[in-house]
Amino acid sequence: MLTDQAGKGVHQGTPGPGQSAQNPLRTGGDLLQLVSPEGDRISHPEFDVWVRDIGDEQLCSLYEDMTVIRRIDAEATALQRQGELALWPPLLGQEAAQIGSSRSLRDDDFVFPSYRESGVAYVRGAHLSEIARVWRGNASYGWDPQRINVATPQIIIGSQSLHATGYAMGVQLDGASTAVLAYFGDGATSEGDVNEAMVFAASYQAPVVFFCQNNHWAISEPVRIQSHVQLADRPTGFGIPSMRVDGNDVLAVMAATRVALDRARKGGGPTFIEAVTYRMGPHTTADDPTRYRDPNELEDWAAKDPILRLHKLLEAKGLLTEDVAARVKAKADAVAAELRSSCIDMPDPQPLDVFNHVYSTPNSWIERQKDHYSRYLNSFNQPVEEGAL
Amino acid sequence: MSKLTFARAINAGLRKSLENDPKVVLMGEDIGALGGVFRVTDGLQKDFGKHRVIDSPLAESGIIGTAVGLAYRGYRPVCEIQFDGFIYPAFDQIVSQVAKMHYRTQGRVKMPITIRVPFGGGIGSPEHHSESPEAYFTHTSGLRVVAVSNPQDAYTMIQQAIASDDPVLYFEPKRRYHDKGDVDESLDLSTALPLDRAAVVNTGTDVTLVSYGPLVKTAKDAAMAAADEGISVEVIDLRSLAPVDYPVVEASVRKTGRLVITHEAGQSGGLGAEIAASITERCFHYLESAPVRITGFDVPYPYSKLEMHHLPDLDRILDGVDRALGRPNSLSGLEG
C-alpha cells in the first residue's frame, strides 16, 4: 500500500531505487484533507478508498462520538471548577484527531495514550468513573488496561512511545497481527524517548503507529520554537514513513490511521502520523493560555472547529435531521450526567490502601510501615487510660 | 557441582531461564554475537536466536522503555546495562515507569523486568565504568535491588530475579567476574535461599560486619585477619539491598553489640547510612558503640591510579572494626 502511495499521501523515509528523493508532501500544503473547513467533501484518489465504508450512518455516529466527548470535556472542566476534580486536561478542539484515530482500531489493537486521550478511552469502552478517577485523585490509573487494551494514562511526556514500541516488539515475537498505537503531542517530539522509540521501531520494523497530535502548544511553548521543520519531516530521518493530516478532519484522520495500522499489521513496520490540530482550551485546568497566546490565533482555529466541520457536512448531505440532533444531544446529556454522578459518588480510598500494590510480592519494609501506621491509626480508637501520661 | 567463574555462573543461570520460560527475552547492547563486553551472555544468541537475545540500539532509555512494553505484553525482559555509569539515561524509565507501574495500576500490570548492571570499581577503567549507583534505586519504592557476591548466588539469584513478578535490579560486581567458585546447577530454586534474604557468611561474636557485592570477599578476608588478632567478626552478605533483611542483621547485632558497614559507594545518603539508622532504631539498647561506616569517599569515582585509595580495602575495614571495638585506630583522640 505504502509503495503505491509514495509521493502521494505518505512520506517515504528512505527513497528506494527508482523513487525520487523529492517528496511533494513535505510542505504545509501537503496536509491530507478529505473534508474542508466549510464542510465540503474533498475527493482524494488514494485515500478515499480507506473511508469508502463510512456511509451516512457512520458519519452520524462519528458526529455523535465527537459531540459526546466534547460534552465529557465540558462537564469534567465544570467538575474541576466545582472542586470535584483536582485537575483536568481538556481536549477541546482535538475531537476529530481522537475519534478518527481510535475508531480506526480493532479490538485486539493496543493503545498507549498520554494523559489527554479521554476521548480515546471513551471510544475503547472505559467507564466514565474510570476516566474521572485519575483526575479526582482516587487512583493513579483509570481503566483496566487489559480489559480495553489501552495502557493507563501516561504523565511523563513521551515515555509511552517506548512502551508502545516494546509492546509492538512483543506482538512480533508472538507472530500476531495486532497493531499498536502510541499517542503523544508535539512537545513530546522534543523528548529523547520519542526519538529512541523511533530508533527502536525502525530497527525492528515494529508494528507501531506513532500518532502525534500537534496541537501547537506544549503548555506555553509553541511548536515553532521546538521544531524548525514540520514534525512529519522528522521520522523520515529515522527511516519511518510519515503522513501529515488535517487533525480537525475526522475522515482524513481515519483514512491515515487505517493506512498506518494496515501497514503495521502486514509487517510493513512503523508509521508516524502528524495530526495537525489545535488545543482550543488550556493545557490543563491549572493553565491560563491568555498569558501566552494571541486571541486571534484561537479565532482562526475556531473557524476550523472539527465538530462544526462535520456538522456542516452532515447538513449539506441532509443527514442532520431533528431526530439525529435530538438523539445526539440526549446521548451527550446522559453521558455528562453519568460522569457527574459517578464522580461525585465515588468512594474515597481507605488509608491503608496507600501501602497496597507497591510490589506483587510482600516487602518487609512496607509491611512494617503498614503495620506501624495501622497501629497509629488504631490508637485514635483506644480510650486514654487515666494517669497514662 | 561444577567450578564456574562468576560470569559463567550468570550465563548458566540466564541459559536455564531462557530454556524454562519462552517469555524470557534478553536485551542489551552488544549482548548477541559479542556475548556482551564481559561475555556474560556468551553463546546465548547462537543457541536461542536473535528474537530471544536481542542486540539493541545504543539507547539505555530505549532498552528499559521497550522492556516496559514487552512486560505489558506478557514477556519477562532481562536487560543488560553495559556499565553502571550508563544507567542514568534510563533512570526515568526505571524509577518512573518500571518501579511504579504495578502501584499505578493497582496490580493490573506487572513489570517482571530484570535489569543486570555490572557495577563497582577495581578494574582500572576510565570514568563512568566503575560506579556504585545502587542507593538511587534502593530509594525507589517498587524496585527490588540485589547484589551478588559469589558464583553460586549469581547462578541462583539471576533465575530468582527473572522469575520474580517484581522488577529487580541485579548488580554484578565486575571485578569478581573471573573469580571461580562451586556452583550446584541442580539446585532447586524453591529450596534456595529466597531473593530477599541476607546470609551470614562468617560467624563471629565481637563485631557484625555488613557488606554486599564486591566487598563481601574483602570483608571475609578482613574477618580472617581479625581472627589472627583474636577478634571474632560476624560477616553478613546482604544479597538484597532493597529490602534489606533487617531481622538477620538485627539478630547479629544483638549478639555482637557492634556494627560495621562497608560498601564501595560514597557515604552520604548511602545504604550504610540507612542500615546504621535502622539498626540503631531497632537495637539501640544492644549497641555498645556507634555504628561505623567504611565506604568510598563522597567524590566522583576517581581515575584508576587513585581508585585503590577510594575503595575500602582489608586494612580500612580492620581500622573500622577497631573503631567499633574502641581499640586504638586511625581516628583515636578525635572528638566526634
| String of DSSP letters for B182-220 | EE-TT--TTTSPPTT--EEEE--SSEEEEE-TTHHHHHH
pTM: 0.94
pLDDT of residue B224: 98
A168 Cα to chain B: minimum distance (Å)? 8
User: CB of A338 within 8 A of CB of A128?
Assistant: yes
Q: Which residues in chain A are closer than 8 Å to B51, comparing Cβ atoms?
A: 172-173
- In eight-state DSSP terms, residue B253 is H
The candidate with the shortest Cα–Cα distance to B313, out of B221, B181, B206, is B221
Residue B85 neighbours by CB distance under 10 Å: 18
Handedness of CA A324, A325, A331, A335 (dihedral sign): positive
Best of A144, A147, A155, A169 to mutate (most B CBs within 10 Å, chain B): A169
Residue A205 neighbours by CB distance under 10 Å: 17
pLDDT of residue A24: 32
ipTM score of complex? 0.95
Is A352 an 8 Å CB contact of chain B? no
Q: What is d(CA A248, CA A215) in angstroms, rounded to the nearest whole number?
A: 10
A300 Cα to chain B: minimum distance (Å)? 38
The candidate with the shortest Cα–Cα distance to A234, out of A258, A203, A212, is A212
Amino acid at B64: I
Q: Which residues in chain A are closer than 8 Å to B66, comparing Cβ atoms?
A: 162-163, 165-166, 169, 197, 200
Q: Which residues in chain A are closer than 8 Å to B56, comparing Cβ atoms?
A: 200, 203
Whether residues B68 and A363 touch (CB distance < 8 A) is answered with no
Handedness of CA B183, B184, B186, B187 (dihedral sign): negative
User: Between A151, A174, A360, which is nearest B72 by CB?
Assistant: A151
Q: Residue A295: which H helix or E strand, with range?
A: helix A295-302
Among chain B residues, CA nearest to A165? B66
Q: In this structure, are strands B259-266 and B207-211 parallel, antiparallel, or unpaired?
A: parallel
E strand map for B96-232: 114-119, 144-147, 168-173, 180-183, 199-202, 207-211
Whether residues A360 and B166 touch (CB distance < 8 A) is answered with yes
Helix (H, G, I), strand (E, B) or coil at A73: helix
Is A140 an 8 Å CB contact of chain B? yes
| String of DSSP letters for B272-322 | HHHHHHHHHHHHGGG-SS--EEEEE-SSSPPPGGGHHHHS--HHHHHHHHH
pLDDT of residue A5: 34
- In eight-state DSSP terms, residue B89 is G
Q: Which residues in chain B are closer than 8 Å to A366, comparing Cβ atoms?
A: 141, 243
Amino acid at A367: E
User: What contacts A109, CB < 8 A, 6 or more positions away?
Assistant: A149, A178, A179, A180, A181, A261
Q: Which residues in chain A are closer than 8 Å to B78, comparing Cβ atoms?
A: none
Is A173 an 8 Å CB contact of chain B? yes
Q: Which residues in chain B are closer than 8 Å to A163, comparing Cβ atoms?
A: 65-66, 68-69, 72, 97
The candidate with the shortest Cα–Cα distance to A59, out of A321, A310, A327, is A310
| String of DSSP letters for A334-350 | HHHHHHHHHHHTPPPPP
Intervals of chain A under pLDDT 50: 1-29
Among chain B residues, CA nearest to A195? B62
Task: Report cis status (omega within 30 of 0) of the bond before A24.
Answer: no
Q: What is d(CA A239, CA A1) in angstroms, rounded to the nearest whole number?
A: 17
pLDDT of residue A388: 62
Q: What is d(CA B83, CA B117) in angstroms, rounded to the nearest whole number?
A: 6
Is A101 an 8 Å CB contact of chain B? no
Whether residues A358 and B102 touch (CB distance < 8 A) is answered with yes
Q: Residue A262: which H helix or E strand, with range?
A: helix A250-265
Q: Which three cell numbers stand for residue A379?
A: 490508637
User: CB of A41 within 8 A of CB of A309?
Assistant: no
Q: What is d(CA A116, CA B50) in angstroms, rounded to the nearest whole number?
A: 37
Region of residue B125 (phi > 0: left; psi between -120 and 50: alpha; otherwise: beta): beta
Of A41, A81, A141, A292, the catalytic one is A292
Q: In this structure, are strands B2-5 and B180-183 parallel, antiparallel, or unpaired?
A: antiparallel
| String of DSSP letters for A127-191 | -HHHHHHHHHTS-S--S-HHHHTBPPP--STTHHHHHHHHHHHHHHHHT----EEEEEETGGGGS
Q: Has A292 been annotated as catalytic? A: yes
Is A134 an 8 Å CB contact of chain B? no
pLDDT in tens, chain B (336 residues): 899 999 999 999 999 999 999 999 999 999 999 999 999 999 999 999 999 999 999 999 999 999 999 999 999 999 999 999 999 999 999 999 999 999 999 999 999 999 999 999 999 999 999 999 999 999 999 999 999 999 999 999 999 999 999 999 999 999 999 999 999 999 889 899 999 999 999 999 999 999 999 999 999 999 999 999 999 999 999 999 999 999 999 999 999 999 999 999 999 999 999 999 999 999 999 999 999 999 999 999 999 999 999 999 999 999 999 999 999 999 999 875
Residue with the three cell numbers 480508637 = A381
User: CB of B1 within 8 A of CB of B184?
Assistant: yes
Amino acid at B223: A
pLDDT of residue A385: 72
Of A263, A283, A309, A340, the catalytic one is A283
Q: What is d(CA A276, CA A214) in angstroms, rounded to the nearest whole number?
A: 5
Question: CA distances (Å), B180 to each of A235, B138, B183, B236, in order?
Answer: 49, 28, 9, 20
User: CB of B48 within 8 A of CB of B191?
Assistant: no
Of A216, A279, A309, A340, the catalytic one is A279
Q: Which three cell numbers stand for residue B255?
A: 549478639
Among chain A residues, CA nearest to B52? A173
Q: Which residues in chain B are closer than 8 Å to A169, comparing Cβ atoms?
A: 66, 69-70
Taking the mean position of all CA atoms in its chain, how far away is CA A323?
Answer: 30
Q: What is d(CA B206, CA B329) in angstroms, rounded to the nearest whole number?
A: 16
A209 Cα to chain B: minimum distance (Å)? 14
| String of DSSP letters for A36-47 | -TTSPBPP-TTT
pLDDT of residue A22: 32
Whether residues B75 and A173 touch (CB distance < 8 A) is answered with yes
A92 Cα to chain B: minimum distance (Å)? 27
Q: Has B309 been annotated as catalytic? A: no
Helix (H, G, I), strand (E, B) or coil at B27: strand
Of B51, B128, B129, B310, the catalytic one is B129
Q: Which three cell numbers stand for residue A48?
A: 478515499
Question: CA distances (Å), A183 to each of A96, A150, A328, A386, B230, in order?
Answer: 14, 11, 27, 62, 67
Whether residues A196 and B57 touch (CB distance < 8 A) is answered with yes
Q: Which three cell numbers stand for residue B214?
A: 564486591
Is A169 an 8 Å CB contact of chain B? yes
Q: Residue B79: which H helix or E strand, with range?
A: strand B76-80
Whether residues A364 and B245 touch (CB distance < 8 A) is answered with yes
Residue B50 neighbours by CB distance under 10 Å: 11
Q: Which residues in chain B are closer than 8 Å to A200, comparing Cβ atoms?
A: 56-57, 59, 62, 66
Is A205 an 8 Å CB contact of chain B? no
E strand map for chain A: 110-112, 180-185, 208-214, 217-218, 221-222, 242-246, 271-276
Residue with the three cell numbers 514540520 = A230
Number of CB pairs, chain A paired with chain B, less than 8 A apart: 148
Is A374 an 8 Å CB contact of chain B? no
Is A149 an 8 Å CB contact of chain B? no
